[in-house]
Structure formats: structure tokens, C-alpha cells
Structure 1
Amino acid sequence: MKFNKVFETGKIRNMELPNRLVVSAMSSHLGNDDGTPNEQVIRYLEAKAEGGWGLVFTEDLGVTEDAGSDPIVGSLWNDAQIPSWKECVSRVHAAGGKIGAQIYHAGRERKLDAYESHPVAPSAIKEPAMNYIPRALTVEEIHDLVKAFGQCARRVKECGFDCVEIHGAHGYLVNQFLSPFSNKRTDAYGGTLMNRMRFALEIVEEVRRVVGEDYPIIFRMNICDHVEGGLEVPESIVMAKVLEEAGVDALHCSQGMFASKETIIPPSFISAMKYAEDVATVKASVQIPVIAVGRYIDIHMAETMLRDGKADYIAMARASLADPDLPKKAKEGRADDIIQCIGCDQGCTGETAAGNPVNCLANPHTCKETVYDLSKVEHPKKVFVAGSGVSGLSAAYGAAERGHHVTVFEADSEIGGQWIAAAMPPGKTDYNAWIYNHRRLLEEYNAEIRLNTPLTKEIVEAEKPDAVILATGSVPLVLPIPGLDNTKFVKSAIDVLRGRTSYGKNVVVVGGGMTGADTSVFLAVQGCNVTMIEMAPDIIGDAVSQVRACLLQHLKKYNVEIHRGTKLMKVEEGAVYAEKKGETVVFSDVDMVVNAMGVRSYNPLEEELADCGCKVVVVGDALKTKNGYRNIREGYDAGNQI
């Protein structure tokens, strides 16, 4: 496919853009404590400009001192912050990019203890994802916030940003006023559609007054809140028309609130381009440019949306994390070299939710522009890597890109390890792209892969590598429970997902973590009657919130019977015995039990190689079991620093 539409120039008011690809705002947790950008933030944004994106947005910038969803996000609420952001804008411009600032107030979607003030909202109604009730704003406070948005926009323009975007989506304060889900006011700011729009329209009016007629104003809006009683598409179309007449220069069409976060940051379970028709409906209703967002992970998807006239610009936020050079590669005819976002949400929102800087499972360089030394080593080493799971392949890549001579040893007939099984359940096929990307990267750096060849002490002694990285992974955990070691009746989740065993009609899955849930859905889709038992009081506690929400929906959809707080006691052929609240629970007529109770480290070589005379490093599950992102990061770090 030719990318003619993607690389058409565009214009939003007087802002000329080199193409139709946009990086929407993402919380990064990279900046300084005072909300200003540091070198890491600037390099992160510069990388996207250098990669050829048409327009790059900052993360959401708070308009008041306590506007952020947490204190780590950026802000531009006082003039003292202008010089730092001005330097950031200058650097992005020098790199050939255009940059916009998104301004916002989180309202009731913030941590309770983030600031000394109590969270505010249109009404004193709890956000389902939060554990507190916000305070309803007074009319005077609403007026003050309108002015705060205006003053923040003034600073945005003074910094030299190319445009300003008002964040009116994702359940933040402006969206809270717009949505009947959160706005229950009885005054001029609630009730009717136009009253609910009043706050947003006053902000648009004030921002326009401050920045002038020629400065581009973009409004990010929800087309659908995806919550009961929230905004739906028909009403949002009306809002789009009103915002257009109010002087907004472009609409950035999104969806979802914290209570439906899986629609804001859709994981792989949500089909790509899921919301394309919604944005197309808005596009057909207005004359101003429309930006589409919502799991556009492939340049071909962007081109198709633009060709079909469903949007004017395509925002690809997480795709830009996976590959900041996506536009440049596509323009150079190297689309196959693009590192694809796989929708895991582990390195991006999974990390920021834990208070860590944003990263990317698919690309270890992301947000590490000031961290890693990527220069070629003066004296390349001979490096052996045992295992080609995610930590092993990452380690091999980290070492090979620095010029070391790398050989990967894999006991199986294909690379990927347990990641192959991770890609088997419905909605996770994109995970295979990670293996494909690393296969290509290792080919590029001339790394050798020996399949059907486990690394042994004898090989190390014969070939004398300078360093060995052990990434032999993990094996299923088999607890000392009667009958659990009956391999004819009890199968591991890995074996089930890899197609190494047939499965009966009635299945009990033991373990309610992400692996257990994935396997349960996999079997249910295959027509099995699935029962899941979990000792803990709840299930899927090891998953990112968006992934967990989708898995819960799938388990319900496919009628998986879930028993929480249920401890496995004994397994017999045809029956499973458990205990719940001190009572014995018996599951009869069982054809198969699946052990999804976790894994344990598998590291048989470390002790054997203790006297081998070379450096030995253990990474991934072989060192300590952990999620895919952390295994990948640990492996890459070891390879880069070997």
C-alpha cells in the first residue's frame, strides 16, 4: 500500500503540518517535580519530531497547581514554568517538529492525597474508579477555573507552542461537566445539553480571547463515555457542531472515562480501529478537521482511514512509543521495519499507574534516550545467550546492537519461549509481532540463532565465549497437593495454549491470575465448559487495569464459572476437591484440570558454569519470575551493559 494520504500536508487554522500523523498527549512521569520538562522529557519529544510525526503533543498540563491527576504530571499554571517549556518547544522545532500543548484539570479523576486540596467535580458524585466523593464546585470557582484555562493558554502561546488543545475527554473535569454521567447540577451548568456545555464553551471563549484569532485551538472530546448514563454518539455530534460554531479549529475525537479506561487506552482485546465509525460520524457532521484516536497501531490503518474520508488526522500515541521513527520508516519504504505496539499496556500505562516513568514493552529505547549507551563497543565480545524467550531475545538484541558477536541457543524448534503461549488466547495475536520484530532486529545485527540446541557446559568449554547470559525462563509450579502431579489428567496452561494436549469438555482451571483467565477464555471459546477456582478473594490481580477489565468481560461473555476464595485441596480423575469458607466444595464430571497456579524459576546452568572462566549473568524468570515487560527490560539491560 502506498501512503499517499498519510503524507499529505495538512492545516489547522494557520498551523501547517507536514503529514497527517499525530502523537496525542500521554502522561509520561518523566518530568521535574514542579511540572516542568527536564532533559529526559525534551529528548523523548525530540525523538518523535526526528521520527517525522506531523504534530506531537505534550502530556496533559495542569492549569492550576492541583489540577493534575497526580503531582508527577506536567503543568503550566504559573509564569515561572515558561522558560523550561519554551526551551522544550525550541528544541522540538529545531528537530523539525510541530508541538502542541494539551491543557486540563483532572477534577474527580485524581488521587485523593495528591494535593492538600480536596478533589472537585461538577457534582458531589463518586467516580467509580476512585475511593472518595469529590466536592461540588461553586459557580465562583467555575469562573476562576475558566480564567485559569485562559491564563494557561496564554503561557502556552508565550512558550511558542504551535497550538493549544483543551482536554474535554476521558472523564476529566471538562468532560465531567459535559457528561450526564457525572453532571447532576441544577443551575446554569447542569441539566440541559447546553447547560452542560456551558463550562466548555466559556473555556473556549476565554482561550480564544487570550490567544487571539489566528492561534489554533483544538478540543479533545469524548464521542462516547462507555458508561451507563454517559455521553452517546448522537449527543456528541450535537456537541461537535456547537464547538465548531464556538470557534474551535479541530476536534480530537476520543472515548471513555476512568470507569471505562479500557476504551481510553484499548488493550489488544479491543479490536484495532474499534471506534472508526464513531469518529467518521463526527467527521461527516462538521467542516473543521477531525483527529481520530483509539488503537490505530499500523500505518496501513491510518492510510485507510484517511483514504475513506473518516478522519483528517490519525493519532497514534502508543504506536509512537513502540516506534518513534514510524513515519520516517514508512516514508522511506521500510514499513516492515516498524516496531508495532502490541496493546499489552504493561510498559506504558502499567508503569505510570505504578508511579513510574512511561516505557514500552516493544521498544526498550523508549523514554530511555538519556539512559542507554548505544555506541559500538571498541572490543566486541563473544556473547552466548541461553534461551530465546522475551528476556533472552532482549538480551541478545541489547548486546548485538552494540556490536558484540551474539549467539542464541534455543532448545525448542522456534524462538519465543512462553511468549508464544501468551499470544494464543483471543485478543492477543498482536503479541506475536514482538517476536517478529526481534527476529528482524537480530538478523539486522547478524546474531546467530541455534534452534534445537540447548546451551550446555560442554558447548561453553569448547567455544569459550567471553560472556554467557542465562535466560532459561521458568517452568509450571506444581504445589504438593494430592493428585496435582497426575500429568495424564492435569495439564499446564502452557501446554494447553501451545496445543500440546487435547482437552475435554468440562475443565477446571486452577489459578485466577492473568494466565488462568487467559486460558479459561481460550478454552471457553473452544467450546469447553470452564470453571475457574482461585484461592485469593479476587481474580486477575496481576494485570493492568484495562487488561483486567477486558478479561472480566470475556469471562462473563463465555460463561466461565468463577469461584473466588476457593482453595484447591485434592485432584482425582474426574473430580476436584476444594475448600471455601471452611466448607468442602466438589467439582464432578471433570475431564481435565489445568494448572495455572504460576511458575517457578528454571536455572540449571548457573551452578555448572561457575568455573567456566567467563562472565555469567542471569536474567528474566530464570532469576525471578515477573511479567513480560520487566523480563524484557532486565534482559535488554544485561545485553546493553555486558
Structure 2
Amino acid sequence: MGYLDYPHLFEPIRIGDTLFRNRIFSAPTGHPDVTLDGEFTEDAVTYYERKAQGGVAAITLGEAIVDSKYGKRHRYQVSLDDRYVRHSLSRLADNVNRHGAVLSIELQHSGMNAGSLMNYAPGTEPPVYGPSACVYNGVQVLEMPEDIIWYVVDKFAEAAKAVKECGFGMVTVHAGHGWLLNQFMDPRNNKRTDKWGGSIENRARFTVEVVDAIHRLCGAGFPVEVRISGTSAHSGGYGIEEGIKFAQQLDGHADIIHVSVGSSTGLTEKNNVFGTTHPSIFLEDGVNVKYAAEIKKHVKKSLVATVGALTDPVMMEEIISSGKADITEMARGLICDPDIPNKARDGREDEIIRCMRCMYCFSHLKDHGQFFCALNPETSRERYFQRALPEAKKQTVLVAGGGIGGMQAALTAAKNGHKVILCEKSDRLGGSILCEENVPFKAHLMEYIELQRRLIGRSDIDLRLNTTVTPEYASSVNADVIIAALGAVPVKPDIPGIDGENVCFAEEAYADPDKVGATAVILGAGLVGTELAIYLTNLGRKVSVVEMADQMNTGGNFLHGVTVQAQIDMLGIDVSYNTKAVSIDAGGINCVTPEGEKYFAADTVIIAAGQRPLSDEAVALRNCAKRFYQLGDCVVPKSIGEANATAATIARDIGRF
């Protein structure tokens, strides 16, 4: 296939005075590296430039604050009313524009969420404004007076003018997901009785005034996109029927109506909405298209964009050709693979790295201020992978282990010209994660493993399946470099009765759920155990989980944990924390809790108590070559993202240092 198979997706489109090269836009996301002063670092500039090289028509930077006085939520948000940030914005625009992409930025005001992560000194906090007075997250929110409303309207317009002067070709007004403009739309938050509340027209007025003000200041030909939530996705909010009416209010004002879903502001049950605003692994591909399609039927002048769980160019072509939307947008999809447009256009669809929506990027951003991708080790490391290194001296590289890290190490080493031998003790590549191959919400992870297999098959890598790498075998290969990626095995706790016929390990239950009885108790509330509980519950089993710690172990991916918890709540799965297993018998498991002993009756007891690294087996290979490296779970159980990043870096360094 190729561009001729996607005539609608690759058809240019004129919006205002600007011609966009195709219908694939990069939706707003957080930034990989921004200073406390709001400056985009060289790493951030290179990250966005790499997206432009991948072939998208437009790239939107996320979360830029138009009003740093009343609208900023956390310190790393770029304040567009600070003139000193414009230097890096201009440099970024130049780097993107030269590659033929249009640069946009998401204009935002936090409203009721303002200041929540700013760490103001006591007594220095500015007032927090929302559509109506309330107490939210323990903070007194004031009803925004009309003079402040008009002040904010002007701030949006001034911010748009500022970025236009920096070389940006479009702006995106964020009126979704629970930020200020969406707070005015949402009846759960807006209780006003003046012209800014009540009717659909009044609740949409703030957003319409913002768009019109931007056009007055920047010109009618300057494209303005408005992101709305087609539905609040929570009780007390609004449904798609009102979402359509909001879009009709914006019709002819906004150049593009960008339809997302969900709003969490004002809720106590935020966990149940996060995986909707940011589609989780538990949702289907293209989950929001239906909302965009409904809105598309009811607007006459504005273009409609759809976003959410899109990575498949075949699906995106159908969306455009069928008239469900005019533009497709991807956020995490292009974090995972910025080359999706080019690969689709070139007929290399089977090389696309499809985002599995694991939240690894988002969690890393929240925890560490930078995001990386579990599947693409180059994401947010573009400068490292693009920089010139000393020429590599060709080496013979033996990779022991064909799991996630081993496959990536082999591919990177081969790409750099080395002779690579990849050994895997089983009859197929993929590692221990293959036990989950029939789990519906792990389909994209399995697609990634299949992609890596295809790339290995097309390479010059010498693949040796059913081959265990012992010291004797490794020595016989006479390799210059050995990379041990041997993985780990399940931990077997020392619990009386663990060898009973009614006991199995999580890997066995995933691979063969038929061996699990009608009721099951899972020992361990890490992601392996909790995801298994969700899988088995969806198969009709009655499942409970016991965990000796006081909370779920998310392995550092706490936002994925949020979506897992939402599923647990929805399915009614019982999870008992601070609960230690002391013995197992034919009828279930005996535990000790803070309240005393408790017996969990179950047909099957499933062990999900962590992994033991195959460290001894790896270390045994250390003297079988001049250079020896270890990576992945055989060092310490790690995430897919950490394994891939280490594998790619080690393999790139071979023969150079």
C-alpha cells in the first residue's frame, strides 16, 4: 500500500490562509523538557522537529497558559504572557516550519484548577476563579466576575498574537477536559444565572468570545482550532446532545472543532474519567470517532477533527472518506512513532510502531518532568540518537535472550553494522510477556512484538531459536560482545500449600485460563495480578486479590494504575490490602489482616508475587567475550520502556567506546 491507497488522508486542506499538507495532525501533549522559566530546551526543540520530519501536517504544543496571574496550574506550564519565552518559541517554530509542518499551540486557562500545583507561600496565593463559587479540592473558588471574564478573553487573543509573531501558523483553544472554558460549558460547574450561564448559548459564550477576539487580533485568515469535549463522560455533566449544540454555537467561528471527550474538574471520582480523556488500553481503537461523526452531521461551516486511540492509517482513511471527520489527530500515537504519516505514504504500514496506550509516557512526565516511550527508545532522546558518534568498529555480537530488550538490542546492533547472533531458548521471540497474547487489552503490545519479529526477519541477524546460551555455548561462538537479556522467572513464596493442585502462577493463568476455576484469589496486587483479575473477571470468573502492601504496585506507571483501578471499581473486584497470605489449602488461602485472620475461599489460588532475575545465569557469561553487558529483567525487573532504552543505548555504543 502507499499514498495512493489513502487519497483522502493525504489530500491537502486549506484552512484560513494556510494549506496543510495532509489530514494528519499531532494533537497537544505535554512537553519533553521545559525549564522553570518556560523555555523549551534544545532537546524539546529537536523532539518537535523530529515530529515534523515524520510527515504530519500540523504539530500542536500542549498546555500553554494565557494568564499566568490567575490561570497557571503548575510551574512548568509555558506562560505566553511572559515575553521572555518567545525566544525559544521562535526557534522552535523555525525548526518545525522548515520541514513543511504547521506549528500550533494549545491556549489554556486552568480556572478552578489554577494554583493547585504551584506551591505558593502561605498568604501569597492569588484568587482562584471558576464559573461559580464553590469549594474545590479544599480551596475556595470565586465566581469569575465579568470584568475578569473579559480580561481573560483579551489574554487568549494576546497570547495568540504573540505566538503568531513567533512563527506559529495556528492556535488551539482548549475548551475541553475540564479547563476554564469547559468549566463554563459544564452544568456541573456552571450555576450562573447571567449571560455566562444557564442556556447552551450562554455557557458557550465565553469560548465564542475568545475565538472571535483571536480572529480580530490575528486576522480572519489565521486558523483557530477549538478543542471541546463532545461529552463530559460523567453524571451531572452534559452528553453528546449538548456537545452537538456547543459545536453549533462554535460553527463558523472556529475554523476547526476538535472533538475529544471527558471532563474531570469538579469530580471526586476523577479516576473514572482519566482513562476516557486519555484513552486507556481498556478502550477500543478510535473510541471517540462516533462523537466527532455526530457533530460533523450538525455543523455547516467549521471543519471537524477527531482524536483518541488512532494509529491505523486504514482506519483514518475511512474516517475521512466516509465524512465522519475532516482531520485525524494523534497524540501518544505520534509520541510512539513520529513516522506514521511517512510510513503510510511509503507503503510501510507494517513497520508502524503502534501505541499500546500504556500511559508510560504520561506517568514519566508527571513523575520526572520528561516523557519517554515504552516501545520507541528514541522518543525524547532524539538529540542523542541523531548526534554523530565515532565510527563503530564492526563486532560480532551475541545477544542471549529474545524478549523485549534482547530483540531491541539485536536490531540496534545490526542497524549499526555489526554481525549479530540472537539466541532464544524457546521456539519464538517475545519473552515471558507472550503468556498474555490472548488478552484483548494487550493486543497492541502483541502487535509490537510481531513488528519486532518482522524487522528481525528482514535483517541480517542470525536468529537461533530453541537455543540456550550457556558459558560453553557462548565461548564457542567467539563473539566480541555478549549482551545478556535473559529475563526473570516468577517468585515462588515460601507459603505452606503452595504446591497444591489448586495453585498456579499468573503466567499459567494468562496462558491457559481454562485451568482457573469459577472463583479465584490472586496473591499480589502489582500490575500483573490486577490486570489478570480484570482479564479473568471479563471471562466470567469471580476474582479477588490480596496484597500485603497498603496499595497497588504500579511499577512506576501510576497513571496506568489509575485506569486499572477504574476497571477494578467498575467490575466490582475485591482487593484486600495489608493482607498477608500464611497458608494455602484445597479450599482457598488463609491470610492475616489488621483485623485478624481471614480466609479467602476460592477454587484456584494464583500467585503473582513478582519476578526473580536470572542474575546468576547472566553473570556466568561475563568472561565469554571481551565486552559483556546485561539488560532488562535479569538485572532487576524493569518496565518495557527501560529495557528498550537500555538495549538501544548499549547496542549503539558497541564498537565506539
For 1:147, the equivalent position in structure 2 comes to 154
Select the residue among 162, 185, 197 that pairs with 2:204: 197
TM-score normalized by the length of structure 2: 0.91
Match of 2:179 among 169, 172, 186: 172
> Per-residue CA shift, 1:183-225, capped at 9, x if unaligned?
2344443333333223222212321221122211111111011
Q: Write the distance in 2 (CA, Å) between the matches of 1:168 and 1:83.
A: 27
Q: Residue 248 of structure 2 corresponds to which residue in structure 1?
A: 241
Aligned to 1:71: 75
Structure 1 CA distance for aligned equivalents of residues 8 and 564 of structure 2: 36
Contact 2:75 2:117 in 1 (8 A): no
1:252 aligns with 2:258: yes
Please state how far the C-alpha of 1:134 moved relative to its aligned partner: 4.5
Whether the 8 Å CA contact 2:591–2:598 is kept in 1: the answer is yes
Is the Cα–Cα contact under 8 Å of residues 522 and 607 in structure 2 kept in the other structure? yes
Q: State the match for 1:106 in structure 2.
A: 110
Contact 1:36 1:75 in 2 (8 A): no
Residue 121 of structure 1: which of 124, 130, 142 is its match? 130
Matches within 5 A, 1:311-390: 311-346=325-360, 348-372=361-385, 373=387, 377-390=391-404
1:342 is paired with a residue whose SS is coil
1:547 to 560, 563, 576: 560
Report the residue type matching 2:516 in the other structure: Y
Q: Which residue of 2 aligns with 1:570?
A: 583
Which residue of 2 is the match for residue 579 of structure 1? 592
Q: Mean Cα displacement is larger for which, 318-327 or 178-187?
A: 178-187
Structure 2 equivalent of residue 601 of structure 1:
613
Paired residue for 1:92?
96
After superposition, the Cα gap between the structure-2 partners of 1:230 and 1:558, relative to the gap in structure 1 and judged at 3 Å, is closer
Deviation track 1:208-259 (CA, whole Å, cap 9, x = no partner) reads: 22112221111111101112211211111111111124x2111111112343
Q: 2:534 & 2:281 partners in 1: Cα distance? A: 14
- How far did residue 563 of structure 1 move? 2.6
Task: Classify the secondary structure of the residue corresponding to 1:568.
Answer: strand
For residues 30 and 97 of structure 2, the distance between their equivalents in structure 1, rounded to whole angstroms, comes to 21
Residue aligned with 2:616, SS: coil
CA distance in 1, matches of 2:564, 2:140: 28
**Corresponding residue pairs, total:** 636
Contact 1:376/1:401 (8 A) holds in 2: no
Q: 1:326 to 1:226 in 2, by over 3 A?
A: same
Which residue pairs with 1:483 in the alignment?
497
Q: 2:641 aligns with which of 625, 629, 639?
A: 629
Match of 1:455 in 2: 469
Q: Hey, what's the Cα distance between the residues in 2 that align with 1:607 and 1:48?
A: 40
> Residues 266 and 546 of structure 1 are in contact (CA less than 8 Å); yes or no, is this contact kept in structure 2?
no
Q: Once the two structures are superposed, what CA deviation does each residue of 1:471-526 show, in whole Å capped at 9, x if it has no partner?
A: 11111122222223x16332110122123972222211111221111111222233
Matches within 5 A, 1:8-87: 8-65=11-68, 67-87=71-91
Q: CA–CA distance in 2 between the matches of 1:142 and 1:276? A: 32
**Contact conserved, 1:8 with 1:18, CA < 8 A, in 2?**
yes
SS of 1:427's partner is helix
SS of the equivalent of 2:287 reads coil
Change (3 A) 1:274 1:315: same
Distance 1:115 1:121, change over 3 A: farther
1:444 shift after superposition: 4.1
Q: Distance in 2 between matches of 1:575 and 1:59?
A: 50
Tell me the distance in 1 between the aligned counterparts of 2:89 and 2:341.
25
The Cα of 1:374 is off from its aligned counterpart by 7.2
Determine helix, strand or coil for the equivalent of 1:370: helix
The residue aligned with 2:267 is none
CA distance 1:352–1:423, change in 2 (3 Å): farther
Give matches, 1:385-534, under 5 Å: 385-484=399-498, 486=499, 488-499=501-512, 502-534=515-547
Letter in 2 for 1:85: L
Q: In the aligned structure 2, how far is the partner of 1:20 from the partner of 1:581? A: 57
Residues 336 and 581 of structure 1: CA distance in aligned 2, closer, same or farther (over 3 Å): same
Distance 1:459 1:543, change over 3 A: same
What RMSD in Å do the two structures reach over aligned CA positions?
Answer: 2.3
Percent of matched pairs sharing the same residue: 28
8 Å Cα contact 2:73/2:117 also seen in 1: no
Quick check: 1:322–1:340 contact (8 Å CA) kept in 2?
A: yes
d(CA) in 1 for partners of 2:213, 2:263? 26
Q: Over residues 305-337 of structure 1, what are the superposed CA-to-partner deviations in whole Å (9 max), with x where a residue is unaligned? A: 111100000001222112211111111111112
Give 1:208's aligned residue.
215
- Contact kept? 2:200, 2:245, Cα under 8 Å: no
* Superposition deviation, residue 394 in structure 1: 2.2
- Report the CA distance shift for 1:547/1:612 in structure 2 as closer, same or farther (over 3 A): closer
Equivalent position SS for 2:178: coil
| TM-aligned CA deviation for residue 556 of structure 1 | 4.6
**Structure 1 residues 216, 557: closer, same or farther in 2, change over 3 A?**
closer
How far is 1:575 from its partner? 2.6
Mapped partners of 1:182, 1:421: distance in 2 = 45
CA displacement, residues 516-537 of structure 1 (integer Å, 9 cap, x when unaligned): 1111122223332222222233
TM-score norm. by structure 1 comes to 0.93
The alpha-carbon deviation at position 303 of structure 1 amounts to 0.5
Query: Is residue 169–residue 256 contact of structure 1 (8 Å, CA) maintained in 2?
Result: yes
Q: Distance in 1 between matches of 2:500 and 2:389?
A: 49
Shift of 1:84: 2.3
Query: 2:434 and 2:140 mapped to 1: Cα distance?
Result: 44
Deviation digits for residues 606-637 of structure 1 (CA, Å, limit 9, x no counterpart): 43234334222121111112222222222222
Identify the residue that residue 307 of structure 1 maps to in structure 2. 321
Unaligned runs of 5+ in 2: 265-269
1:579 deviates by 1.7
Check conservation: 1:377, 1:403, Cα contact below 8 A: no
Residue from 587, 591, 603 that aligns with 1:591: 603
Instruction: State the secondary structure of the residue aligned to 1:89.
Output: helix
> Mean Cα displacement is larger for which, 309-318 or 65-74?
65-74
Q: Residue 398 of structure 1: CA displacement?
A: 2.8
The structure-2 alpha-carbon separation of the partners of 1:237 and 1:561, relative to structure 1 and needing over 3 Å to count, comes to: same
SS of equivalent to 2:420: strand
- Higher deviation after alignment, 102-111 or 9-18: 102-111
Q: Distance in 1 between matches of 2:135 and 2:366?
A: 20
CA contact (8 A) 2:362 2:559 kept: no
Alpha-carbon distance between aligned partners in 1 of 2:391 and 2:451, rounded to the nearest angstrom: 23
Change (3 A) 1:501 1:618: farther
Counterpart secondary structure, 1:454? coil
Q: 1:596: how far off?
A: 0.9
CA deviations over 1:14-58 (Å, ceiling 9, x no partner):
221111111111112323332232322222222222211111112
**Unaligned stretches of 5+ residues in structure 1:** none
Paired position in structure 2 for 1:638: 650
CA distance in 2, matches of 1:571, 1:465: 48
